[in-house]
A and B are shown apart, each in its own frame.
Chain A
Amino acid sequence: MTIDLEQLDADYLAQVRYALAFISEDVVSYDIDAAAKKITIELGPGADEAEVRTRVGEILSRYDQSQFGMKTVVDFEQKRDLPALDAWAGMLERRWATPVGDGHVVLRGPAALLMALVDHKVDSIFAEEFGAELEYFPSTIKSETLHRCNHFTSFPEHMDFVAHLKQDLGVLKHFSDSCRDKGWSPELHDGTMSRSDFAISPSCCYHAYEAMEGWELEKPGRCLTATLHCHRYEGANHKYMSRLRAFTMREVVWVGHPAYIISGRARAEQLIIQWAKDWELSCRFETANDMFFTDDYAVKASFQRQQQGKKELRLDVPSEGRSISCFSSNFHSTTFGKAFGISVAGRPATSGCIAWGYERWVYALLSQFGFRPEEWPAGLRDDYERFVRDRRTTLPARAATPE
C-alpha cells in the first residue's frame, strides 16, 4: 500500500520514519520516498490495511509541526568535505566489530580503544572540571522509578522490560526439559514468565535521582558522573552503531540550585565545542528535542526547544548523508527534584545532565576519518596515540586479525 506525503521537511521525515517502526506488527517493511512524496508499506498476510492506514495518518499528524514553533538555534557548526566511507563494513572487515544480535555489537581493536579514549576525555575534561563524584549504577531499574520519571508517558515504544521464569517447579522443569530435548525457542516463554517489575535502563541518570530520594542539599548542589549500559528497543530502526539496542551512555549530572545547573551546562557546552574544534569534527551543535512518542509530541517538543532544554552535538556520517546525535546537554528543571523530593536550600532541586553515546562516537569518527590513525586530524591522532601508549597496550588490531 502507498500513502501520500504532504510535508517534506527533513526533521519531520526523520521523525515519521522513526515512528513508523512502531505502528503495527502487521507492517513487514516500509520506505519513505521524499522525491515521489509517498510512503510505501509492505504488509504481512492477513493485515488490516484500513487500520494501518489510520495509524499512519495519526503518526503523520502527530509530527506535523506546522502549527507549532520549532525553534532552532545553531551554536556552532564546522563542516568538512569528507569522502563517503562505509565505516560499518570496514569495521566488520577488520574484525573491529562483530554483531551479536539485533542492535547488539562487540567492539574490539582500535574501535574499542577509540571508545576508551572518548571515555578518558570525558573524565579528564568534564568530570575534572566539575568535580563530579563517581557513581556506579545497576543496568536494570525499577519500572516504578521510570514511571515516576514520566518516562513511560513520553517514550513507551523503546522500553526493554526484564522478566524471569515463574517461581514454579512445573514451569522451571518444563523449560529446562524442553531446552534439553528440543532446544531453546522463544515460544517456551509464552505464559511462563513472571510479571515484569524491572526494565533495562533506557537512560543513565534516572538512578542518580532515585538514589537521592529525600536528600536536602546545600547550595549550590552536587555533581556526579556515571557510565551505564542502556537499552532502547527501536524496532526496524536498529542500525549498527548509529541506533543500537544495547549501548553505552556516559553522563555528568548536576542536581541543585538552578544557577548551578545553568552555569555548569553553559561551561560544558563551551568544552564540547572546543573538543569538536580540537578533533576537527564535521558537526553541528544545536537546539534539539526528544522524540516524544505520544500524541502531545508537538506541544512537548515545541516547549523543550523554546526553552533550549536540549542541545545536541550532531556528528556527520558522510556515507549515510546525515548526522547522528553523539552528545546532548539537557535541562530538566524541577521534574526529578519534585518526583523524588530532593531539595536545595528548601526549594525543589533542579537538575541537568550532559550525555555521550559512546558507540556513536566511534562510528562517527571512523566514518569521518577512516581506519588509519596516521591520517586522522592531528588533535585526534595525538590524543589517540598518547592514550594507547599510556595504556601500554599492544595494538589489539593484531590480536583481532585471524590466525
Chain B
Amino acid sequence: MEIAQAQAVETLRNFIRQRYNVPLDDADFSDDVHLFDYGYIDSFGAVDLIAFVESAFDIKISQSDLVAYPLNTIREIADFALQRRKANGI
C-alpha cells in the first residue's frame, strides 16, 4: 500500500513527540530539525527510533544504511523509508 509523504512525516512526528516527550510549545521542533544535534534523541533513543521505523514502514535498516544515508530529521527519515518501501515493491 502506498503511503503519502505527508502521512509518513506525521506518523514519525507523532511517535517522536510522544516517545521522547517533546513539549507542544517547543519552538525548535520541526520536521527539519536535526533530531540528534538538538538533543531530542540520544544514542539509546536512536535504537528505539530505528525499531519503530522498521515496524511502522515494514522495512529493514542496516548499519551501512545509517552510514550511507542522512537520517537525522523527520523528513529525511520519512523519505528514506518511502524509498526503501518502493525499492522493496511495497
Binding site for B on A (CB under 8 A): 67-71, 258, 262, 299-300, 302-304, 306-307, 331, 333-335, 337-338, 345, 347-348, 350
Interfacial chain A residues near B37, Cβ < 8 Å: 258, 262, 307, 331, 333, 350
CA distance A299 to B38 in the complex (A): 20
Closest B residue to A69 by CB, please name it.
B67
Is there contact, CB below 8 Å, between B26 and A347?
Answer: yes
Q: How close is A102's CB to chain B, nearest CB, in angstroms?
A: 34
Interfacial chain A residues near B72, Cβ < 8 Å: 307
Closest A residue to B34 by CB, please name it.
A258
B38 in complex: contacting residue of A69, A71, A302, A350, CB < 8 Å: A350
Is there contact, CB below 8 Å, between B39 and A302?
Answer: no
Is there contact, CB below 8 Å, between B28 and A302?
Answer: no
Is there contact, CB below 8 Å, between B47 and A258?
Answer: no
Is there contact, CB below 8 Å, between A69 and B64?
Answer: yes
Q: How close is B76's CB to chain A, nearest CB, in angstroms?
A: 13
Interfacial chain B residues near A304, Cβ < 8 Å: 43
Is there contact, CB below 8 Å, between A303 and B43?
Answer: yes
Interfacial chain B residues near A348, Cβ < 8 Å: 39
Interfacial chain A residues near B26, Cβ < 8 Å: 347
| A69 touching B39 in the complex, CB below 8 Å, given contacts A303-B46, A347-B26 | no
| A306 touching B67 in the complex, CB below 8 Å, given contacts A333-B37, A347-B28 | yes
CA distance A14 to B54 in the complex (A): 34
- Considering the complex, which residues of chain B in the window 20-67 have a beta carbon less than 8 Å from any beta carbon of chain A? 26-28, 34, 36-39, 42-43, 46-47, 63-64, 66-67
CA distance A69 to B68 in the complex (A): 9
CA distance A302 to B63 in the complex (A): 9
Q: Is the interface of B mostly helix, strand, loop or mixed?
A: loop
Leading 10 A-B pairs by shortest Cβ distance: A334-B39, A69-B67, A303-B43, A69-B63, A333-B39, A258-B38, A71-B67, A68-B63, A307-B36, A350-B39
Closest B residue to A67 by CB, please name it.
B63
Interfacial chain B residues near A67, Cβ < 8 Å: 63
Closest A residue to B27 by CB, please name it.
A345
Give me 5 A-to-B residue pairs in the complex whose CB atoms sit less than 8 angstroms apart, sorted by A's number: A69-B63, A258-B34, A302-B63, A307-B36, A347-B39
CA distance A338 to B66 in the complex (A): 26
B36 in complex: contacting residue of A300, A333, A347, CB < 8 Å: A333
| A302 touching B66 in the complex, CB below 8 Å, given contacts A258-B37, A307-B36, A350-B38 | yes
A258 in complex: contacting residue of B39, B43, B64, CB < 8 Å: B39
Is there contact, CB below 8 Å, between B66 and A69?
Answer: yes
Is there contact, CB below 8 Å, between B39 and A306?
Answer: no
| A337 touching B43 in the complex, CB below 8 Å, given contacts A69-B66, A258-B28 | no
A335 in complex: contacting residue of B42, B46, B66, CB < 8 Å: B42
In the complex, given contacts A258-B37, A331-B37, what are 15 additional A-B residue pairs having Cβ atoms less than 8 angstroms apart?
A: A69-B63, A69-B67, A303-B46, A304-B43, A306-B66, A306-B67, A307-B72, A333-B36, A333-B38, A334-B39, A334-B42, A338-B39, A345-B27, A347-B26, A350-B37
Q: How close is B74's CB to chain A, nearest CB, in angstroms?
A: 16
Q: How close is B16's CB to chain A, nearest CB, in angstroms?
A: 15
CA distance A333 to B41 in the complex (A): 9
Residue from B34, B46, B63 with most neighbouring chain A CB atoms (10 Å): B63
Q: How close is B26's CB to chain A, nearest CB, in angstroms?
A: 7
Interfacial chain B residues near A307, Cβ < 8 Å: 36-37, 72
Q: How close is A298's CB to chain B, nearest CB, in angstroms?
A: 9
CA distance A305 to B39 in the complex (A): 16
CA distance A69 to B64 in the complex (A): 5
CA distance A306 to B64 in the complex (A): 10
Closest A residue to B68 by CB, please name it.
A69
Q: How close is B65's CB to chain A, nearest CB, in angstroms?
A: 8
Closest A residue to B42 by CB, please name it.
A333
Interfacial chain B residues near A345, Cβ < 8 Å: 27
Interfacial chain B residues near A333, Cβ < 8 Å: 36-39, 42
Interfacial chain A residues near B46, Cβ < 8 Å: 303
Closest A residue to B71 by CB, please name it.
A306
Closest B residue to A349 by CB, please name it.
B39
Q: How close is B46's CB to chain A, nearest CB, in angstroms?
A: 6
